[in-house]
């Protein structure tokens, strides 16, 4: 079986990856699981939240993304990211300037988020074409003072911050600019490239958690908003009803997705945040976020039956939500 681009299928995670996890230790409160953004280790009176993700691609912003994408995962627990470890793999031919560029980006991003870069590794690796930066970020909190993606409860409202397809829009505007110029004007492309500035969800995740009533949070990365929602329902063993017309999609994203004939709701959406919150406090969280300059919308609610996962289309027609097989970014990038 040839694997698709992006995250490996859930059945392979369950059949292979999750069956080869070494010894069990009592400190591991949350280990590898479908739909969760990181691990939880209880050490004394503290809980340590740990997440790891790779970033691949051009040098232009790879170090900055490695910090922000990993910081997002820790923040979805309601915990401030504090310590970063990194592994930088460089292609043959990389020079001193390449190392300096990546490290300076990581330093800038880490300072902005008040994260200490505590250690790591850097090497030239034969066989790769582009740099790879693997980041591992940790955050400390009082024991048990966090949420996970698996805490959504029936009756909770589902909030989405910002809009769908943020990271995918920025990537396609940057990496496929020459193609897009055929159909999208230059000012739209310029604004789309700046979507990278929206990637961090640390501020909104901590704000939402501190406001109260939050039962679960998740950042929709590969698979987009629909993939992220599906992961939350899996992790929480609940159903969901989502209203497509309530999901914000910026015009830049609409035009780029129309050009590549892809679904913005299945386009990698780092920069957005999904929040499951007590229905009585949903409006308070939305207002709190907006007061701090962060757009937020109630887009649906969680249901009792885990088999009921419904997307209400703009026409009012209901259809079953399915897990995206692959992020639509890969479909766009594969088209010449």
Mean pLDDT of the chain: 95
Write down the pLDDT at residue 297.
97
**Mean pLDDT across the stretch 222-244?**
96
Query: Chain centroid to CA 147: how far?
Result: 16
Q: CA-CA distance, 30 to 302, in Å (whole number)?
A: 23
Write down the pLDDT at residue 145.
98
Q: CA-CA distance, 148 to 178, in Å (whole number)?
A: 41
The total of other beta-carbon atoms located within 10 Å of residue 192's CB is 25
pLDDT range class, residue 35, cuts 50, 70, 90? confident
CB 88 within 8 A of CB 102: yes
Q: CA-CA distance, 180 to 250, in Å (whole number)?
A: 16
Asked if residue 132 has pLDDT above 80, the reply is yes
In CATH, the architecture of 37-142 is: 2-Layer Sandwich (3.30)
Write down the pLDDT at residue 281.
98
Higher pLDDT, 336 or 225: 225
pLDDT range class, residue 258, cuts 50, 70, 90? very high
Asked if residue 152 has pLDDT above 80, the reply is yes
Q: For every residue of 255-287, which 3-state class applies, written as one string?
A: HHHHHHCCCHHHCCCECECEEEECCCCHHHHHH
Helices (H), 194-319: 202-211, 224-236, 251-260, 282-291
Rounded to whole angstroms, what are the CA distances from 161 to 169, 200, 275? Answer: 16, 11, 8
pLDDT range class, residue 118, cuts 50, 70, 90? very high
Q: What is the pLDDT of residues 55-103, one digit of tens each?
A: 987 778 999 999 999 999 999 999 999 999 999 999 999 999 999 999 9
Closest C-alpha among 33, 36, 37, 39 to residue 13: 33
Q: CA-CA distance, 58 to 5, in Å (whole number)?
A: 18
In CATH terms, the superfamily for domain 157-333 is PurM-like C-terminal domain (3.90.650.10)
Write down the pLDDT at residue 202.
98
* 68 contacts: CB under 8 Å, gap ≥ 6: 109, 113, 199, 200, 270
Asked if residue 37 has pLDDT above 90, the reply is no
Q: What is the pLDDT of residues 222-232, one digit of tens each?
A: 899 999 999 99
User: Across 57-206, where does the E strand assignment appear?
Assistant: 83-90, 116-124, 132-142, 157-161
- The H-or-E segment that residue 166 falls in is helix 166-175
Write down the pLDDT at residue 2.
87
Q: What is the pLDDT of residues 283-327, one digit of tens each?
A: 999 999 999 999 999 999 999 999 999 999 999 999 998 888 889
Residue 181 is given by DSSP the state: T
Q: What is the pLDDT of residues 174-207, one digit of tens each?
A: 989 999 998 999 999 999 999 999 999 999 999 9
Residue 318 main-chain phi, psi, to 5 deg: -90, 140
Write down the pLDDT at residue 60.
84
Domain positions in the chain: 37-142, 157-333
**Mean pLDDT across the stretch 133-151?**
97
Three-state secondary-structure class, residue 119: strand
> What is the per-residue burial (b if ≥16 Cβ within 10 Å, else e) of 107-129?
eebbeebebebeebeeeeeeeee
Domains 37-142 and 157-333 share a fold: no
Write down the pLDDT at residue 4.
81
Write down the pLDDT at residue 324.
86
Please report, in angstroms and rounded to a whole number, the separation of the first and last CA atoms in the chain.
25
Write down the pLDDT at residue 130.
92
pLDDT range class, residue 6, cuts 50, 70, 90? confident
């Amino acid at each position: 079986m040839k694997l698709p681009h992006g995250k490996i299928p859930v059945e392979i995670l369950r059949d292979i990856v999750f069956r080869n996890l070494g010894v069990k230790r009592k400190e591991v409160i949350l280990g590898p699981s479908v739909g969760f953004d990181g691990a939880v280790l209880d050490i004394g009176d503290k809980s340590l939240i740990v997440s790891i993700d790779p970033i691949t691609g051009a040098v232009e912003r790879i170090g900055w993304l490695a910090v922000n994408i990993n910081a997002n995962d820790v923040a979805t627990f309601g915990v401030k990211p504090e310590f970063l470890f990194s592994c930088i793999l460089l292609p043959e031919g990389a020079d001193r300037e390449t190392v300096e560029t990546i490290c300076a980006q990581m330093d800038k991003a880490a300072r902005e988020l008040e994260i200490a870069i505590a250690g790591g590794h850097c090497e030239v690796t034969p066989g790769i074409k582009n740099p790879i930066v693997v980041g591992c970020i940790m955050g400390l909190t009082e024991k048990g003072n966090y949420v996970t993606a698996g805490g959504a409860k029936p009756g909770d409202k589902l909030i989405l911050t910002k809009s769908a397809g943020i990271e995918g829009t920025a990537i396609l505007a940057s990496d496929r600019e020459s193609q897009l110029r055929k159909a999208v004007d230059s000012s739209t492309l310029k604004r789309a490239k700046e979507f990278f500035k929206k990637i961090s969800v640390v501020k909104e995740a901590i704000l939402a958690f501190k406001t109260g009533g939050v039962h679960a949070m998740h950042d929709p990365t590969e698979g987009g908003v629909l993939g992220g929602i599906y992961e939350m329902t899996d992790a929480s063993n609940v159903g969901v009803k989502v209203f497509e017309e309530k999901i914000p999609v910026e015009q830049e994203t609409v035009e780029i997705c129309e050009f590549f004939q892809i679904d913005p709701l299945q386009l990698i959406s780092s920069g957005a945040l999904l929040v499951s919150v007590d229905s009585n406090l949903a409006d308070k969280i939305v207002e709190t976020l907006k007061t701090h300059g962060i757009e937020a919308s109630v887009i649906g609610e969680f249901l009792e039956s885990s088999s009921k996962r419904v997307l209400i289309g703009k026409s009012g027609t209901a259809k079953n939500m399915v897990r995206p097989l692959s992020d639509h970014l890969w479909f766009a990038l594969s088209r010449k």
